Amino acid sequence: MRSLAILDSTLREGEQFIKTFFTLEQRVQIARWLDRLGVTFIELPSPIASPETRDSIQAICALGLQSHIVTHVRCVEADVLAALETNVYGLNLFFGTSTELRSNSHGRRIEQIVQQAVPLIQLIRTTGRYVRFSAEDAFRSDLVDLLTIFDAVVEAGVQRIGLPDTVGIATPRQVEQLVSLVASRYPGVGIEFHGHNDTGCAIANAIAAFEAGADCLDVTVMGIGERNGIASLSGIISQLYIHYPALLARYDLTQLMELEQYVAECLNINIPYNMPITAPSAFTHRAGVHTKAVLHNPNAYEILNPTDFGLARHVDIGSRFTGRYAVGHRAVFLGLQLTSDEVVHLTQALKERAEHGSLSDEEVNTFILAWYEQKGSLIW
């Protein structure tokens, strides 16, 4: 069976999100949580970012987690040396390779990138650490340039090549093509994919990358990162759960919700309404057609079993789209015995009430009980 590493970059890419500031204590707490969940890599910023960042790296390395701790460093000597002074498992190097980044960011030519990267990779390898080299903005880079650089860094000993879609421009098909090409050219080397979400394709692109041969996918909690972020941890987990469950065998999926709630609290935001698995309504069913089927058998409208994530399903009946099957079900739950005619009338009354605005669960219960109290006096 193929293997797949999930690299969580909440503490690196995630700190590049406009709302993020993690204290040392929060960083440590998040790292512990990611480890309990079971991710293979936890990516941290470069130690040269700030003294507090360096201390956090050392504090997280000292936890003795199962997850491998890697630091994300520029391909420059000072950064690499600083990283080697910490106790990280490995270094995730990156270098901009597109014309856009070469001319607007670091100004290096392809030969200069190679000359700079190769000795650093060799140096890292002599220390026995893991090293990955990423061609930043790979999907706007010239293919010949990319392969020229990859040939050299593979020769120098990198264990993985990173293919980031830095600006979120790629389609799943483009990702599939580039990953397959790189995978067939460097069979002994891993491939990491990191996809931004500027056009909403981050999760789809990551799965396309895996299916084309990538063996490491980058994610963050809730997908936080530069601009509107990258693939979310819960999005990738939900895809793997459905299509490649064996790859999640050693994960503790019940950690996901609390981890996400914790990160949301740190950022002072709510978990977005459309997050796979963890959105407040991810397992809530509303329309009458849905609620009836789900009450018969949840798999009618559910591909993820909420209990596997320590969560519960919710059947909402307080809207004008409610149906009598679900209403009857709720009446039974409330201990009421109604004839089928009564259920029809109760449903009608509830729908009329919900024309003025949806009702919460408590309001629905109150409504049903009040209706029941006075039903003898109602004329149908």
Q: Is residue 8 a contact residue for ligand HCA (CB under 6 A)?
A: no
When CB distances are held under 5 to 8 angstroms depending on the partner's kind, the choice from ligand HCA, Cu ion, none that residue 220 binds is: none
Q: Is residue 15 a contact residue for ligand HCA (CB under 6 A)?
A: no
Q: Where are the beta strands (DSSP E) in the chain?
A: 5-8, 41-44, 68-74, 90-96, 130-136, 160-165, 190-195, 216-219, 284-285, 314-315
Write down the residue that tokens 């910490």 correspond to: 86
Per the CB < 8 A criterion, the answer to whether 136 and 95 are in contact is yes
When CB distances are held under 5 to 8 angstroms depending on the partner's kind, the choice from ligand HCA, Cu ion, none that residue 90 binds is: none
When CB distances are held under 5 to 8 angstroms depending on the partner's kind, the choice from Cu ion, ligand HCA, none that residue 15 binds is: none
Q: DSSP letter at 272?
A: P
Report d(CA 57, CA 45) in Å as an integer: 8
- Toward ligand HCA, which CB reaches closer, 229 or 276? 229
For the segment 77-96, give every residue that binds ligand HCA (CB under 6 A): 92, 94
- Toward ligand HCA, which CB reaches closer, 216 or 237? 216
Task: Determine which one of 290, 329, 345, 356 is catalytic.
Answer: 290
Q: How far is the CB of 11 from ligand HCA (least distance, A)?
A: 13
Q: How far is the CB of 225 from Cu ion (least distance, A)?
A: 6
Q: Is residue 166 a contact residue for ligand HCA (CB under 6 A)?
A: yes
Q: Is residue 16 a contact residue for ligand HCA (CB under 6 A)?
A: yes
Dig out the tokens for 66 from the structure: 């199962």
* Residue 106 known to be catalytic: no
* 274 to 59, 129, 235, 280, 311: CA distances (angstroms): 34, 39, 10, 9, 16
Q: Which of 226, 260, 316, 342 binds ligand HCA (CB under 6 A)?
A: 226
Residues that bind Cu ion (CB under 5 A): 13
Q: Is residue 26 a contact residue for ligand HCA (CB under 6 A)?
A: no
Per the CB < 8 A criterion, the answer to whether 61 and 88 are in contact is yes
Backbone angles phi, psi at 212, to 5 degrees: -90, -5
Quickly list DSSP for 139-188.
GGS-HHHHHHHHHHHHHHT-SEEEEEETTS---HHHHHHHHHHHHHH-TT
When CB distances are held under 5 to 8 angstroms depending on the partner's kind, the choice from Cu ion, ligand HCA, none that residue 20 binds is: none
Task: Name 174's Cβ contacts closer than 8 Å, sequence gap at least 6.
Answer: 139
- Toward ligand HCA, which CB reaches closer, 26 or 197? 197
- Toward Cu ion, which CB reaches closer, 213 or 223? 223
Q: Which of 134, 205, 291, 319 binds ligand HCA (CB under 6 A)?
A: 134
Q: Tell me which residues touch ligand HCA (CB under 6 A).
A: 13, 16, 72, 92, 94, 134, 136, 162, 164, 166, 194, 196, 226
Which residues are identified as catalytic?
290
